[in-house]
Chain A
Amino acid sequence: MRTLLSVLLIGVPVTLILTLVGLSHGMLEDAQNRTRGVGADIIVRPPGTSLLTLSGAPIPEALVNYLGKLPHVTIAVGVVNFPIQTALVAIGVDVRRFDAMSGGFTYLQGGPFNGPDQVIIDQYYAAQQHVHAGGTISLLNRDWKVVGVIAGGKLARIVFPIQVLQNLTSNAGKVSQVYLKLDNPQNTSSVIHDLKARMPDYQIYSMQEFTSLFNVSNIQGLRQFITVIMGVGVIIGFAVVCLSMYMAVLQRTREIGILKSLGGSKIFILQIILLEALLLGVGGSILGILLSFGAYWLIQTLVPASIQMAIVPIWWGIASGITLLGAALGALYPGISAARHDPIEALAYE
């Protein structure tokens, strides 16, 4: 029982680390995929915005038309972003122009806008809200008819006609960012060069460069947060194993005395305690990895649209290593204590 409880407690920080890392990877990968799904070659963002700025629409819509007429630009699509939740953004877009740029949404149910008060959502948000095409959902303090359910991985999970979101967010005539499709992707560098000369304050990226910015290092504070969680993992592993092995040493005082009477050295006793602690650590790591799949399943089942989690196998070893380090440190004191037991007193222990 003690062993099972220890393995469970050691597994928790492993799950915590893997879930956190999985969430950061999953959400960034999801954002990358949806951005790539736009089908653009260049993105133009307003001056002074950070990578994860999700709201505001400071770009005049007239600029979209201007950009659309530049050499090599075939289509310019302005969009309005509006965060519904922390990582769930509604986007307003001219669907006709967006279809021309991206090849169009893939409708799993229903179809494009054909009337007022309508919204298009992707399959994950539909699953999370338990709604189908023709149903109603409440967003931005209003009820909306779900006119279409689209396949995920393109632009956004929630799509409004651009004017609707502009009006609702008091951004009439403005957009948050602009996507440009070129006549030939090979012209991307030259067009960006030209755009930077014309609009030096704007942030202008190729889509490849922009999506490459979606990584853990570029999200302020995320890496430090993961480091803190890893530290917590070491401390929990240390405390659990220390307590567990201390109890084990107390329970096995007589056995330790027997081993000493047989000629077991201090190092031998310490090795046994450390080995058991490491086995607990390995068991906890395996359980933690399995539990991270449980967390993945729960997230996929309950909130597939709001948060995404990836399974990141490379972190299995890192999380396990952190736990084993905590376990080894935690076993040192009980191990040394066991090694120092007086054999006669240990043999007399009841």
Chain B
Amino acid sequence: MNKGPIIEVRDLRKVYRMGEVEVPALRGVDLRVEAGEFLSIVGPSGSGKSTLFHIIGGLAPATSGQVKVAGEDLAAMSDAGRTRLRRRSVGFVFQKFNLLPNLTARDNIAVARFIAGQNSGGFSPQFEEVLRLLGIAHRLDHKPHALSGGEQQRVAIARAIVNHPAILLADEPTGNLDTENSKAVLEVLADLNRRLGQTILMITHNPEAAGYGHRIVQMRDGRVVE
């Protein structure tokens, strides 16, 4: 904690154009996330959480405002620049796990390393330790369909952090899991934050899940309200 801001968002606005109709999704969001922080973002559907997640993660451009991630200004970035950001600085965990179905868990993780240009050999001893921490070290040679939802989500977490991203963005990571697996995944995220100092932004509907964060940010109608 208190290593300085790793995410700075100022007056962020995003407007989607649906034909001739403009739909504002973000209406001036200000947010500051310190390095090593575990932040939960909660809010009803349509409050702009996912849009904020996509912009911070470099999946979508902002309409206006300033977004800085790990010192890089996303507003000035081209599509290729945002692609580089996703490769180096951001790890994603999605509600639907989003593992590549034809690859084993090991290869799903290795793909992220390959895209980041780290092709050499297997995983480092430190990462092997992380895999043990995640409880998937013995399941790496299975394909997603042979893994439980909780295991799939933990593989997705491993994939998200294999390149040591500055931030881990988790979008409803427990949305498709039962209570037991949800708890396990949240414990893993909290443990990663605690042990490795991993900065985490987690979007959730679940107040109990949000409680795992150091801080909870409430969003409504495209604004941070609390």
Binding between chains A and B: yes
Task: Name the interface size band of chain A.
Answer: 10 to 19
B111 CB within 8 Å of chain A: yes
Residue of B nearest to A257 (CB): B98
For the complex, is B139 an interface residue (Cβ under 8 Å from A)? Answer: no
Q: Is A56's beta carbon under 8 Å from chain B?
A: no
User: Which residues on the A side are within 8 Å of B79 (C-beta)?
Assistant: 266
Residues of chain B lying within 8 A (CB to CB) of residue A343: 59
| B196 within 8 Å of A (CB atoms) | no
Residue from A257, A263, A266, A344 whose CB has the most chain B CB atoms within 10 Å:
A263
Q: Contacts A259-B111, A343-B59, A347-B98 given: A264-B92 contact, CB under 8 Å? A: no
Contacting A261 at CB < 8 Å: which of B59, B88, B101, B116?
B59
Given A265-B83, A344-B59, does the pair A259, B115 have CB atoms closer than 8 Å?
yes
**Cβ 8 A contact of A262, one of B60, B80, B87, B101:** B87
* A255 proximity list for chain B (CB < 8 A): 100-101
Cβ A268 vs Cβ B98 within 8 A: no
Q: Is A25 interfacial (CB-CB < 8 Å)?
A: no
Count A/B pairs, Cβ under 8 Å: 50
Tally of contact residues, B, Cβ under 8 A = 23
Q: Is B164's CB within 8 Å of the partner chain A?
A: no
A260 to B45, CA, bound (A): 25
B59-87 residues with Cβ-Cβ distance < 8 A to A are 59-60, 79-80, 83-87
B83 — nearest CB in chain A belongs to which residue?
A265
Q: Mark A262-280, 1 if CB is under 8 A from B, else 0.
A: 1111101000000000000
A12 to chain B, nearest CB (A): 28
The distance in angstroms between the C-alpha atoms of A222 and B109, with both chains bound, is 55
Which residues 75-130 in B have Cβ within 8 Å of A in the complex? 79-80, 83-88, 92, 94, 98-101, 111-112, 115-116
What are 14 sample pairs from A and B whose C-beta atoms fall under 8 A apart?
A255-B100, A258-B98, A258-B100, A260-B59, A260-B83, A261-B57, A262-B115, A263-B83, A263-B85, A264-B83, A264-B87, A266-B80, A347-B94, A347-B98
Closest 8 CB pairs of A and B: A263-B87, A263-B86, A258-B98, A262-B112, A343-B59, A265-B83, A261-B92, A262-B115
Query: Residues on B close to A: CB < 8 A?
Result: 54, 57, 59-60, 79-80, 83-88, 92, 94, 98-101, 111-112, 115-116, 159
